[in-house]
Structure 1
Amino acid sequence: MSAHESNKPNKSQKPKVALVLSGGGAKGTAHIGVLKVLERAGIPVSIITGTSMGSIVGGVYACGHHAATLDSVVRAQDWVQLLSNKEERSQSLHVREQQNTYVFSTVLKLGKKKSAPEGGLLSGVRISQLLERLTYPYNDSIDFNTLPIKFACVATNIADNTEHVFHSGVLSRAMRASMAIPGVFSPVRMGNEVLVDGGLKNNYPADIARQMGADIIIGSSVQDKPKTADQLKSTMDILMQLVDLNFKNKEENMAITDIPIVVNVEGYGSASFSTAAIDTLIRRGEEAAMAHWDELVALAKRLGVNQDDVQPDTTVDSIPPMAKMTNRRIGDPLLRVGIRFDIEELVALQTNASLPFNAKRVMAFDLTLRLGRRIMAKGEWTFTPSKLLRSTISYTFRRNDINFYEYGDRSYNLTYNRQTVAVMPLNFNFRNFNFSIGGVWDHYFNLNMLTDGTPEHQLEKPDNQHLFSYQAQVDYNSENDWYFPVRGSKFVARYTYYTDNLVTLKDKTGTTEVGAMWRTNIPLNKRLAVQPMFYGRLLHGNHTPLMLQNVIGGQWFGFYLEQQLPFAGIGHVEFDYDKFVAAQLQSQFMLTEKNIIQLRLATAQSADQYERLFRNQTMLGASLGYFYHTLSGPLGAVLGYSNVTKEPYFYINLGYVF
C-alpha cells in the first residue's frame, strides 16, 4: 500500500489523514525524509497542506510522485542556477556566455500596455519552469481536490495583509506564489491581489487541513527558534526571521496536530542548498519521523494497514524535460546587469538590453554598455531563422585605457578609441558547438601613449588606422561550469586575415592570424580535478600593426584585448613576439562546493621566427588561487610568480568576468 492510493473512494469511511508541511526554504527539503518514513509505515495520506517550500514538496507529492522521486529531483538540481533569473542552460554558447556575465536579469515591460512592475530582485523564471515540469500533467487550471491527494497551499496578499488559500487554479502558479519571498522573488499578481510567501500569515497551515476535513493531522515543521542579533548575518536570515515573527497562529496550529514531527535544522538556513546540506536535511527529516515510529505504526494499524503488506515505492518517476513544459514567451525583452571589481580597474558595470522584434524572436536588437576604466558601447542586430543558425551585424565603440608591462615593470600606458563594424552572415550553433564566419572593419583613432622614459622602453606610438579582416572561428565547449569545470572539454580555433584595403596591408601581403586553445578536465575524485591546456597564437606578415601583436599575461583570455593570452605567474599584460605557444596544467581542489583552490603551472615559448621558437628562453610560471563560487560570480585572490617578471604578483577579483 502507498500513500497515493488514499484518494480512492473509501467505503469504510476511515479517518482522513492530513499531512502539514511548513515553510523554511532549503530546510524544507527535510520534509522528503519525513515522507519516506510515512511511506515505510504505510500511512494513507488523504490531504496535504503546505506553505513556501512545504507547498512545493507537498504539491509535487500530491501529483502522485513518491518520496524517492522528490529525493532524486532535489539532489539533481543546480540550486544556484535554479534560484536565479537565468534560463535553463541553453545549447547556445552565446547564451551560456551571457548567463555567466550578468548578475541580474529581468523582463522589460515595453509598449503601450501598462504592466505591473516585477516587485522583486528575481523573477523566478527557472523555478517556475521546474514547477511546471514537476506538476505535469496537472498544468491547466484545476480543482486541487481532484489531484491524487487533495492539496491546498497558502500565500499572503500584501495588498490587504490577508491570507490567500489556494484550493484551485494553476498548481505550479499557486506553489510559486506560496514561496515568493518578499523583495527576493517577484510576487504573483492575480487581479487586485499581490501574492507573496504564505509564511507571513500561516507558515504551518494545520488549520487549513482541519477545514478540508482532516480527522488526523501529521505535521512536519522545519522552523527554527528565533535567531539572536549575532546570528542574523545574511539577507535571507533577516527575511526568514520576519516570516517567523509575523506567523500569528503557530502555537494554535501545532496544538491541533496529532503527530507533530519537528526536524532538527540547527546549523542550516533557508539558503543551505549545497549537496551536503540537502543530504543532511533529508536524513534529519527521516530521523525526526523515526522518533515517532511507534505512533505512526499504531496509527497505520488503526487505519487497517497490515504492516506485512507495506512496500514503499522506491522507483523514480520520469519527469518531462524543460523544453516540453515551459510556456514562457521567448520573445520577452530582457534587461541584464553585471558588476565586477578587481584591484587593477576597480569597479566596472555592464548592462545589456535585448529587444526582440516579435514573439518568435526571429529578429532582435541588443544594446550593451560597459562603464569603468574601459568604456564600451555596442549595438547588435540578430536574425535567427532557426535554432541552429543566426546572422549578426554589430557596431561597437571602445575607449580603452591599458597599462602595458615589460618583464614585470610598467612601461607604457596606452589610451585609444576603437570602433568596429562586424558582419557575421553565418553563425551556426549545435549543442556545444559554434561556427562563425564573416568580415570586420576596425578603426583605431585618438591614440595616446605614455612611457616610463627608459630608453629601452621607447615603443613607437601607433598611428590612426583602418583595418579590414576576414574571420572564421570554431568553438566547442562541453565543460560543466563556466569558471570552475571538473568535467568536459573546450576547444577554440580562429583564423583571421587582416588588410587595410580588403586585399593587402601597406601594399604587402596582409597579416594572418592563427590561434587555438584546447583544454580538458579530468576528475580524479569528487574533490580533485586536473586540467591540461595547450594554446597559442601565430602571426604571419611583414607589417603587423601594434594593436594586433600578441599580448600575454593576466588570468583570462581576451580580457583587456581580444588577442590577450593568459599566463600563470604574469599578472599584467605584456607585448610578446609574433609566435607564441604555451601549455598549462591546472589542479583544482574543492574544499566544499563553493570553496575552491586552483594551482596553475605554465610554460611557453615565443619568437619572431619559427626557427628561433625553441631557442629563446623558456617561460615558466605558477599561480595559486582561492575562489568562492557565488551567484554574483567568482570571488577570489591569486598569488603568482614567473621567470619572466622575476617578482610575485597579487590579484583580487570579485564578480563575473567582462
Structure 2
Amino acid sequence: MKARKILLILIVALFAVDTLPAQTARKKVAVVLSGGGAKGMAHIGALRVIERAGIPIDIITGTSMGSIVGGLYSIGYDSERLDSMVQLQDWALLLSDRESMRSQFLNERMDQNTYALSKTIVLDKKGKTSNTGGVIEGKNLARLFGALTKGIPDSVDFNKLPIPFACVATNIIDNTEYDFHSGSLAEAMRASMSIPAVFSPIRKGDMLLVDGGLRNNYPADIAKAMGADVIIGVTVQGAPKTVDELKTGAAVLGQIVDVNCKNKYDDNLAMTDVAIRVNTKGYSAASFTHAAIDTLILRGEAEAMSHWDELMALKREIGLAADYRPERMPMPAGSMTLPEAEALDNTSSHVVKGALGVRFDTEERVSLQMVGKWRPAGRPMEIDATLRLGKRIMAGADLRYVPKGRDVMRLSYKYWHSDLDIFQEGDRIYDLRYSKHTVDWSVQLANLKNFIINAGARFDYYHYVDVLVERDAEYVPGDITDEHLVSYYAHVNYNSEDNYTFPTRGARFVAGYEYHTDNFVKYAGHAGLSDIFASWRIAFPLGSRLSFQPMIYGRFLFGNDQPFCLGNFVGGDWYGHYVERQMPFIGTSHMEAINSKFIALRLKLQQRLGTNNYIILKVTGAQRGDELKNLFDHGPLIGTQLGYAYNSLFGPLGATIGYSTLTHKAHFFINLGFVF
C-alpha cells in the first residue's frame, strides 16, 4: 500500500514537471529593422523604448543599416552601447577608404590631403585580383565591424548568438535574395549594406552580394520563418514622392532606390503586429553628421513612444507582467573604435594604387593631379609616377626603397613647366614661362609617424622660355638667365596636429638648410649660397569650437650673386604653391618678389560652425631686408584676411577676402578642393 502511494506521487510529479513549460511558455518576439542608410540610426531610439517597456527580444532581423544595428544588438550592443558607438565614429572617414591621421606617416597624410579619390588594388603574382568594383572598397567599415565583433567566431550559426539573428543581401549574379543565417557576422553586415556602385560587393563563393534592400528591405518574413509569433517592426522609409517633389537628379535617383526597395515591403508590413514608422523627413540615407544622427535617434525614440500602449498590450499578450524586465546582456568583447590600418603585405602580392585630385581657384582656374604607385611582390621598393595639368604642368617619377613599408631612400625626377606672373608691391614686373628639371636623391635619417629628418643632394636646371619685363619695374631680384644648381640639404619635419587642414590642437614645425653651388663646391667662383628656412605653428583650443593658431616663419638667403630662381617670393595662403621656396602672405594675390631676408608672424582664429563649417580670421606682420642688420629698418608689412571654408570629402571649399600693405589692394579668392 505504501509503495502504491509513493508510485502515485511520482506519477503526479512527473505530469506536473511535464506540463510546467506549457504553463510558462510565451510567444516569441521578433524585432525587424529596415534599411535606409543614415536614417536607420532611428532604430537605436526605437530599441531604447522597447527596452524601456521590458519586452524581451527573441529574434532580430534587418537589412542594410538595419542589419548593422540588428547584428550588433544580437551580440550584446544594446541601445545605450549602440548610441555610444555611433557617436564615437568619424563617419566621413568611416564611409571612405581614407586612413585616420593617427595611423599615418607624414608623407601618407600629405597624399591623403592632396587626392580626393584613390583606389588600391592587390594583385597576386599571376596578375589576378579579388577586387569587385565600387568607388569605395569599404576597408574602414570592414575594420570597424571586425573590431566590434571581436570574440565572435569567423564561422558561426547566427541562431546560436545571444539573440538569434538574420540579415539580407542581394546576389547580383541572378538578382536573388540571399539570407545570412551563418558565417562571418562582420561579413554579413558588410554585404547587407553594400550599396551598388558605391561600395564594393562582397564575393561569397559564386555569388556577388550587395545591399539587401534591393530584394527585401524589411525582412519580417524571415523573422516569421525563424519562429516569431509576434513582430515589432521599425521602418524608416518615407511616404511616396509626388511628381512635384522629383525635381533634381538626386531626388530621382532616390526615388528609383525607394521603388526597388518596395519589393515584399507591403506584404511584410502586413504581418507586423506593432509597426513603428519613423518620420525621417529632412534627412537622407547620407545624413551621417553627428547632429543628424542625434536627431534621427530622438525621432526613433519619439515615434516608438507614441506606440507605448500597443507595446504594453503586446507585452501582456505574450504572457508577461507589466513590471517584467529581461536581464541585460553582457558587454561584448569588441572595441567601439576604429583600429589602425595594418600595412599592406606585398610579400606575395603586387600592390597598385591610383589617386586623382581636382581643384579650382580664381587664379589658376582648374588643375588636375594624378598619381600611380606600384609596389612589386616580394621587393622592398615602390615606383611612383605623377602628372599635374593646369597652368603649372608637372610630371615626375620616384623610385623608393621601402623596407617594412617605410621610406628609407628615394631617387626622383621631376619636370615643371610654369607660366607665372610675378608682382612687386601689387604691380606686375614679370610675365615669364620657364621649364625646370630636377633630379633628387635623399635618405631618411629618421622616419617616425610625426617626425622626419632627411638629407640629400639635388640637381636643378632652369630654362626660361619667355620673359616679359615691365618697363617701370624698380626692383629686379637677380638676373633671369638659364641656371643649373647642385644643392645639398637637410630637412626636419614635425607634425602632431589633429587635422591636416583645420587643426584645433598640436604643432607643426618645418626647418631646413640648403647649400647651393653650380659646380658641386662653389657658386660663380666663390662660396656657395646658404639657404635657411623654418616655420613653427601651434594650435591652442579655446573651447570645443574655437582655436588660436600663432605661426612664425621665414627664410634667409646668404651669399653673393644670388640668382633669380633662388629669390624670396611671398603670396597667398600656402607654402610652395607657385614655386618651391615661396612663402605665404595673406591679403596678397599672385606671387610677390621680396628681399632675401624675410620673417613673419601670423595669428589665426578658427571658429567651427556646426560640423564642417569654419570662419577663419588671419593677421600677419612681416619684416624684410637684404641684410640681417637692416631687417627692421622698414615698417612692418601687414596682411589681414577673413574667410569661410567647408570641410568636404573633396577638400576645403571656401572663399577669402583680404588686404595687405604690401600691395595696398583688396584681394578676393575662391578655392575649391585640396591644395596642390
Shift of 1:645: 0.7
Identify the residue that residue 168 of structure 1 maps to in structure 2: 182
C-alpha distance in 1, partners of 2:64/2:365?
39
Identify the residue that residue 28 of structure 1 maps to in structure 2: 40
- Give the letter aligned to residue 396 of structure 1: K
- Kindly report which structure 2 residues correspond to 1:40-439, keeping only aligned pairs within 5 A, or say none: 40-89=52-101, 90-108=103-121, 112-115=126-129, 118-138=132-152, 140-228=154-242, 237-246=251-260, 247-300=262-315, 302-304=318-320, 307=323, 319=335, 322-323=338-339, 332-358=351-377, 362-386=380-404, 390-439=408-457
- Give the letter aligned to residue 117 of structure 2: F
- Give the letter aligned to residue 225 of structure 2: Q
C-alpha distance in 1, partners of 2:505/2:622?
25
C-alpha distance in 2, partners of 1:457/1:582?
21
Give yes or no for contact 2:455–2:491 (8 Å, CA) kept in 1. Answer: yes
Shift of 1:574: 0.8
- Of the candidates 580, 586, 594, which is equivalent to residue 568 of structure 1? 586
C-alpha distance in 2, partners of 1:134/1:362?
33
Give yes or no for contact 2:32–2:231 (8 Å, CA) kept in 1. Answer: yes
Residues 335 and 22 of structure 1: CA distance in aligned 2, closer, same or farther (over 3 Å): same
Shift of 1:387: 5.8
Identify the residue that residue 618 of structure 2 maps to in structure 1: 600
Shift of 1:580: 0.8
Query: Alignment length, in residue pairs?
Result: 649
Secondary structure of the equivalent of 1:307? coil
C-alpha distance in 2, partners of 1:273/1:261?
22
2:656 aligned with 1:642, yes or no?
no
User: Which structure has the greater CA radius of gyration?
Assistant: 2
C-alpha distance in 1, partners of 2:35/2:288?
15
Identify the residue that residue 443 of structure 1 maps to in structure 2: 461
C-alpha distance in 1, partners of 2:631/2:663?
20
C-alpha distance in 2, partners of 1:267/1:624?
32
Give yes or no for contact 1:66–1:314 (8 Å, CA) kept in 2. Answer: no
Shift of 1:618: 0.8
Give yes or no for contact 1:72–1:316 (8 Å, CA) kept in 2. Answer: no
C-alpha distance in 1, partners of 2:402/2:524?
38
Provide TM-score, normalisation by structure 1: 0.92
Shift of 1:36: 2.2
C-alpha distance in 2, partners of 1:388/1:235?
45
Segment drifting more, 445-454 vs 200-209: 445-454
Shift of 1:559: 1.0
2:626 aligned with 1:630, yes or no?
no
Identify the residue that residue 5 of structure 1 maps to in structure 2: none
Shift of 1:619: 0.3
Measured against aligned partners, the alpha-carbon deviations of 1:409-439 in whole angstroms (never above 9, x if no partner) come to 2221222111212212225332322222222
C-alpha distance in 1, partners of 2:628/2:282?
60
C-alpha distance in 2, partners of 1:428/1:396?
24
What fraction of aligned residue pairs are identical, expressed as a percent?
47
2:537 aligned with 1:519, yes or no?
yes
Residues 325 and 108 of structure 1: CA distance in aligned 2, closer, same or farther (over 3 Å): closer
C-alpha distance in 2, partners of 1:285/1:105?
36
Identify the residue that residue 15 of structure 1 maps to in structure 2: 27
Residues 233 and 190 of structure 1: CA distance in aligned 2, closer, same or farther (over 3 Å): farther
Segment drifting more, 302-311 vs 422-431: 302-311
- Of the candidates 549, 566, 574, which is equivalent to residue 567 of structure 2? 549
C-alpha distance in 2, partners of 1:143/1:443?
67
Secondary structure of the equivalent of 1:278? helix
Give yes or no for contact 2:88–2:337 (8 Å, CA) kept in 1. Answer: no
- Give the letter aligned to residue 174 of structure 1: A
2:492 aligned with 1:492, yes or no?
no
- Give the letter aligned to residue 450 of structure 1: L
C-alpha distance in 1, partners of 2:545/2:22?
52
C-alpha distance in 2, partners of 1:368/1:235?
34
Residues 10 and 132 of structure 1: CA distance in aligned 2, closer, same or farther (over 3 Å): farther
C-alpha distance in 2, partners of 1:78/1:610?
48
C-alpha distance in 1, partners of 2:636/2:509?
25
C-alpha distance in 1, partners of 2:454/2:548?
30
Give yes or no for contact 2:144–2:336 (8 Å, CA) kept in 1. Answer: no
Residues 449 and 570 of structure 1: CA distance in aligned 2, closer, same or farther (over 3 Å): same
Shift of 1:441: 1.7
Provide TM-score, normalisation by structure 2: 0.90
C-alpha distance in 2, partners of 1:290/1:384?
58
Shift of 1:204: 1.0
Shift of 1:271: 1.2
Residues 652 and 358 of structure 1: CA distance in aligned 2, closer, same or farther (over 3 Å): same
RMSD: 2.6
Shift of 1:94: 0.8
Segment drifting more, 545-554 vs 163-172: 163-172
C-alpha distance in 1, partners of 2:79/2:585?
49
Q: Which runs of 5+ in 2 are unaligned?
A: 1-20
C-alpha distance in 1, partners of 2:664/2:577?
23
Shift of 1:623: 1.0
Secondary structure of the equivalent of 1:348? strand
C-alpha distance in 1, partners of 2:108/2:439?
21
Secondary structure of the equivalent of 2:303? helix
C-alpha distance in 2, partners of 1:583/1:522?
16
Segment drifting more, 444-453 vs 249-258: 444-453
Segment drifting more, 453-462 vs 466-475: 453-462
Secondary structure of the equivalent of 2:58? strand
C-alpha distance in 2, partners of 1:583/1:152?
60
Identify the residue that residue 3 of structure 1 maps to in structure 2: none
C-alpha distance in 2, partners of 1:314/1:600?
52
Shift of 1:295: 3.4
Residues 282 and 327 of structure 1: CA distance in aligned 2, closer, same or farther (over 3 Å): farther
Shift of 1:228: 4.7
C-alpha distance in 1, partners of 2:75/2:414?
51
Shift of 1:104: 0.9
C-alpha distance in 2, partners of 1:229/1:487?
49
Residues 105 and 231 of structure 1: CA distance in aligned 2, closer, same or farther (over 3 Å): farther
Q: Which runs of 5+ in 1 are unaligned?
A: 1-8
Give yes or no for contact 1:469–1:496 (8 Å, CA) kept in 2. Answer: yes
Residues 327 and 242 of structure 1: CA distance in aligned 2, closer, same or farther (over 3 Å): farther
C-alpha distance in 2, partners of 1:45/1:638?
55
Shift of 1:514: 1.6
Secondary structure of the equivalent of 2:135? strand
Measured against aligned partners, the alpha-carbon deviations of 1:542-600 in whole angstroms (never above 9, x if no partner) come to 13221111110111111111211111111221111111111111112222212221111
Shift of 1:354: 1.4
Residues 381 and 595 of structure 1: CA distance in aligned 2, closer, same or farther (over 3 Å): same
Segment drifting more, 342-351 vs 240-249: 240-249
Residues 75 and 234 of structure 1: CA distance in aligned 2, closer, same or farther (over 3 Å): farther
